[in-house]
Amino acid sequence: MRAVRLILIALVAFSLISSASAQSLPGGFVYLRDIDPSIIQDIRYATSNNFVGRPLAGYGAGECVVKREVGLRLKAVQQELAAQNLSLKMFDCYRPARASLDMVKWSQNGHETAAERRYNPNIPKTELFRLGYIANRSQHSTGAALDLTLVDLKADNSAKYDPSKTYADCTAPVAMRAPEGSVDMGTGYDCTDAKGHTAVTSINPEQRTWRKRLVAAMARQGFVNYSKEWWHFSLPGAGGAAYDFPIQPRRN
């Protein structure tokens, strides 16, 4: 009996060690859910709902992983927004370096589908890197860059993306675009078009106001917006080396 008990104890210990190692993160990284579970997550590169049309290499789970300082500052932004019945919604956080290489291969595969063109209706995908919309070496891989938007918690956000439907491109009116469960920023997420530039004037006043509110809320915690993408922010000084560890499921 004692031998059986020892075996059971050993198995439990092994299970705990395996579970811990499966979710261990290097270099001061954390799961954002452990910092602030109220922040909405829709990690698009872990799904087929993105410009590549499939999960990217390294995205084994739809979890936002960031450097701890970044997570704490996002929590502060969220606390401010909560008083306004708003929430952050994360589209991408830490990005394994292999995912950026996956994007490079995608851009060079020699064809573009109609679904892909929804994201870059006016620019050939072979030009996206040269024009600065996608980087070979992404700041996301340092854990200090983020893609995000705002959600109005009082609005009806129930509409979901349906892969069987044909949607208009990312610059079309919001009712024609793929639903994102967020406020109307004038374009969809990852829209590689001039209308996706943060300060563009060819969107309506309400859309410009939403962009300004997002930029201002993030700036109060030190985040800097990338001018060609209203959704992209980074925290200067919080990055460092690029990483390539895969994103794995978070365990409680």
- Catalytically active residues, by annotation: 229
Binding site annotation covers 111?
no
Beta carbons of 149 and 189 less than 8 angstroms apart: yes
Binding site annotation covers 147?
yes
Please state, as a whole number, how many other Cβ atoms lie within 10 Å of the Cβ of residue 104.
Answer: 12
Total count of residues recorded for the chain: 252
Output the DSSP codes for 38-81.
TSEE--GGGSS-STTSSPPTTB-S---EEEHHHHHHHHHHHHHH
| Burial group, residue 2, by CB count within 10 angstroms (0-12, 13-18, 19+) | exposed
Binding site annotation covers 193?
no
Buried b (16+ CB within 10 A) or exposed e, 60-71: eebbbbbbbbbb
Parallel/antiparallel/unpaired status of strands 229-234 and 145-152: antiparallel
Bind-site residues for Zn(2+): 140, 147, 232
Bind-site residues: 140, 147, 232
